[in-house]
Amino acid sequence: MKCDQCEKAAIVHETVIKGPSATEVHLCAEHAIAAGYPLPIDQPIADIMPKLAEIAKVEGTKLKERTQSCVACGLTFTAFRKTGMLGCPACYEAFMPMLEQIISRAQGGATHHLGQSPDGGVEAERIQILRAKLMRDLDAAISAEQYERAAKLRDELKALDSPDPAKTPG
């Protein structure tokens, strides 16, 4: 088939249907580009088929995941997506690969929960660590019968609990 606008071989073939009439358009590469048509791929079908098979395999895996169900309660992943609620603890194991993807997207790539910082942030954590160290030192001082040192450590612990930050040791 030749191009409608010149004598070159047409590589773009399109049928335009408007109302009851149909018009066929045949264009060479040069005129197809000028008219804004995308050019067909220059790859032979033998090169394209393995790629299509891979896409079908991935899509089949996704379909299998979507129809997978929990062995304990019978909840399907599709039902979970509709409600946003899992049916039982076994659902976490049954749907783990899909849940990780959802959590990762929702948390900007994070998949593990790290917890929240206590009120006061870094300062509160520093005080908590200091309190634990003072308690260990106090226990060691009492065990070693170092009562004067134990009394100082006790006073430092009391100062940690006071609302006045100026009295906070460390």
Q: What are phi and psi of 22, to 5 degrees?
A: -125, 135
Give yes or no: residues 49 and 36 share one domain. no
Q: Are residues 50 and 33 in the same domain?
A: no
pTM strictly above 0.85: no
Number of Cα atoms under 13 Å in the Cβ half of residue 167: 10
Whether residues 32 and 53 share a domain: the answer is no
| E strand or H helix that includes residue 32 | helix 29-35
Using CA atoms, how far apart are residues 26 and 28, in angstroms rounded to an integer?
7
Q: How far apart are CA 73 and CA 87, in angstroms?
A: 6
What is the number of structural domains in the chain?
3
Is 116 part of any domain? no
pLDDT (tens digit, 0 to 9) for every residue of the chain, 170 residues total? 889 899 888 888 888 888 888 888 898 888 888 888 777 665 565 666 666 666 666 555 555 555 688 889 988 888 888 888 888 989 888 888 888 888 777 777 766 666 666 566 677 778 888 888 999 999 999 999 999 999 999 999 998 877 665 544 55
